[in-house]
Amino acid sequence: MLQQAIRVLLIEDQEADYLLTRRMLSTVEGRVFDLEWARSYHAGLDAIQRRVHDVCLVDYELHDGTGLDLLKECVAIDYQSPLILLTGYSDYHIDMEAMQLGAADFLVKDHLTPSLLERAIRYAIEQSRTMHELRRQGEELRASELRFRSVVQSANDAIVLADDQGKIIFWNHGAERIFGYSEDEVLNAPLEVLMPPHYREAHRLGLQRLRSTGKAKLIGRTLEMEGLRKDGSEFPLELSLATWITAEGTFFTGILRDISDRRRADDLRRAKEEAEQATRAKSQFVAGISHELRTPLHAIIGFTSILLQNKSGNLNQRDTDLLQRVLINARDQLGLIDSILDLSKVEAGKLEMQTAVVRIDQIVHEIVEQFEVNLAGSAVKIHARMPVRIEPIQTDAARLKQVVINLVENALKFTEQGMVSIEVVVNPSNSKPIRIDVTDTGIGIPARQLKRIFEPFHRLERVQEGTPGGTGLGLSISRSICEMLGYDLTVKSEPGRGSTFSIVVDREANRLPIPA
């Protein structure tokens, strides 16, 4: 197999020495040398700059410079190929200096033989390659180390390395942030400082087992435990452990994540679920008990109604008056139970919606008719104000009606005389309903009460103050139903003048001013 020629640069001002060198190289068996001759220091410097030679032979004493000067030049220009210095005599000091400047070898011309020269060249090239390879590997290692550091340092998690004695040998910024210790404070400290006392014994045993058996229970697993900060506080963390083995021993990498936020979120979610579960259970209980509470009331109301007919004619006026009181109270109590049941259904999300195309004007007429009968002879009148044309809407007619009835009943409760009106406000451009207002001329609501008026049982306080009664649930239920229908329920009031409750059907349109 033909070997590639070794390119040799000879810097030598004695032609005899050049010829000698050429002859020696030509006698080497199995190797081909491609020899270039530079006759002076400066010619040599030029040749070196081309950087095409595998090896460079330099005479120490040139007429325009020394081999040592050339070596310095080579260092300065970071010359890669090996340089062998040739001298006429052996000089220890020059030899030392040459070696320090990076010469591959130092040969005395008189002692040279073809085989010595060939071997010196071969070794120099080989050594140079090895050096380059080492240097390249060193650079790669440095790059890899830099990569590793930048990844590790930029991690949010704590990354901690320890040796098999459990001593901390690496500590990243994440660890500093999470535990509060700076790198200086924890390097060479035992890992135990990072754990609450009750973990330490198990940790020591684990380390012992690892050292004696090479086995560790926790390696390759992720576990949750508590960490100990510098300030003594404990916090929940998630730990992943890995080991790595080198000639120097076994090491650990621990990646630790502060999971306080996650724990808090979990706790919150659990609390929320428990609260919702409790609400559902409560609602079911209320629904169940409402039924039980109603049944005897039905009997009381039924029997009282029958007695009030006075079929046998045995009851006098006072008897029937008292029975009437029984009936009124029983019915009030029934209304209260119904309201509680409604509220529990709303809270439990059990109120089903059935939507259809609905004519609001029809609903309002029905309600007004119903209340007109009840109000016959009273000092309060009810009436409706509606435009001629109202576009039908998609909604749950029964629920919407329930809300309007609640609002009218509420208005009547606080209005001794005057007017309760139901007004449907439409968008004049397309006749689509914007809102339904229920307005009364009653006692009104003080501003400080307005905020809380939709809270369940709000009115109960006022019952105790001797103001008109009610469950205090009607408005809360009404608002909940409105929300389910996608509507808002709002209130405006002026004490002494009256109140207006508005079912806002079209929020967008309601924000715009209505042209008169």
Distances from the Cα of 39 to the Cαs of 24, 50, 64, 233, 257, in angstroms? 18, 16, 10, 79, 70
Q: Which stretch binds other proteins (CB under 8 A): 165-173, 334-342, 374-382, 465-473?
A: 334-342
Nearest-angstrom CA–CA distance, 486 and 260: 38
Q: Which stretch binds other proteins (CB under 8 A): 127-135, 271-279, 298-306, 424-432?
A: 298-306
Would you say 59 or 396 has its CB closer to other proteins? Answer: 396
Nearest-angstrom CA–CA distance, 103 and 83: 5
CB of 440 to other proteins, least distance (A): 22
Is residue 342 near other proteins by the rule CB under 8 A?
yes
Number of residues in contact with other proteins, rule: CB under 8 A?
25
Is residue 298 near other proteins by the rule CB under 8 A?
yes
Nearest-angstrom CA–CA distance, 217 and 407: 68
CB of 286 to other proteins, least distance (A): 15
By CB atoms closer than 10 A (0-12, 13-18, 19+), residue 321 is exposed
CB of 457 to other proteins, least distance (A): 21
Would you say 1 or 373 has its CB closer to other proteins? Answer: 373
Would you say 103 or 477 has its CB closer to other proteins? Answer: 477
CB of 319 to other proteins, least distance (A): 18
Would you say 299 or 322 has its CB closer to other proteins? Answer: 299
Among 167, 204, 331, 413, the residue binding other proteins under the rule CB under 8 A is 331
**DSSP labels for 390-410?**
---EEE-HHHHHHHHHHHHHH
Is residue 301 near other proteins by the rule CB under 8 A?
yes
Provide the token pair at 411.
């208005």
Among 20, 193, 334, 484, the residue binding other proteins under the rule CB under 8 A is 334
SS3 3: coil
Pairing relationship of beta strands 234-246 and 393-395 according to DSSP bridges: unpaired
C-beta separation of 23 from 33 below 8 A: no
C-beta separation of 72 from 81 below 8 A: no
Is residue 86 near other proteins by the rule CB under 8 A?
no
Contact string (CB under 8 A) for other proteins, positions 380-399, x = contact: ----------------xxxx
Contact string (CB under 8 A) for other proteins, positions 306-325, x = contact: x--x----------------
Phi, psi values for residue 488, rounded to 5°: -105, 150
Is residue 59 near other proteins by the rule CB under 8 A?
no
Distances from the Cα of 228 to the Cαs of 127, 145, 193, 224, 242, in angstroms? 53, 29, 7, 13, 21
Is residue 366 near other proteins by the rule CB under 8 A?
no
Find residue 421's DSSP bridge partners.
383, 439
Q: Which stretch binds other proteins (CB under 8 A): 92-100, 268-276, 304-312, 378-386?
A: 304-312
SS3 196: coil
Among 203, 263, 294, 365, the residue binding other proteins under the rule CB under 8 A is 294
Nearest-angstrom CA–CA distance, 454 and 466: 20
Is residue 347 near other proteins by the rule CB under 8 A?
no
CB of 294 to other proteins, least distance (A): 5
Would you say 339 or 499 has its CB closer to other proteins? Answer: 339
Among 305, 324, 374, 467, the residue binding other proteins under the rule CB under 8 A is 305
Would you say 58 or 397 has its CB closer to other proteins? Answer: 397
CB of 489 to other proteins, least distance (A): 17
Is residue 295 near other proteins by the rule CB under 8 A?
yes
By CB atoms closer than 10 A (0-12, 13-18, 19+), residue 112 is middle
Is residue 365 near other proteins by the rule CB under 8 A?
no
Contact string (CB under 8 A) for other proteins, positions 116-155, x = contact: ----------------------------------------
Would you say 280 or 331 has its CB closer to other proteins? Answer: 331
> What is the crossing angle of helices 15-26 and 114-154, to 10°?
80
CB of 158 to other proteins, least distance (A): 59
The residue whose two tokens read 């510098």 is 230
Among 279, 329, 402, 449, the residue binding other proteins under the rule CB under 8 A is 402
Among 163, 338, 361, 423, the residue binding other proteins under the rule CB under 8 A is 338
Buried b (16+ CB within 10 A) or exposed e, 474-491: bbbbbbbbbeebebbbbb
Nearest-angstrom CA–CA distance, 433 and 75: 92
End-to-end CA, the chain: 107
Q: Which stretch binds other proteins (CB under 8 A): 58-66, 127-135, 145-153, 300-308?
A: 300-308
C-beta separation of 172 from 153 below 8 A: yes
Q: Which of 378, 377, 382 is nearest to 410 (CA)?
A: 382
Quickly count: other Cβ atoms within 10 Å of residue 316's Cβ. Answer: 9
CB of 381 to other proteins, least distance (A): 24
Nearest-angstrom CA–CA distance, 400 and 137: 80
Nearest-angstrom CA–CA distance, 182 and 289: 63
- The footprint of other proteins (CB under 8 A) covers 291, 294-299, 301-303, 305-306, 309, 331, 334, 338, 342, 354, 396-399, 401-402, 405
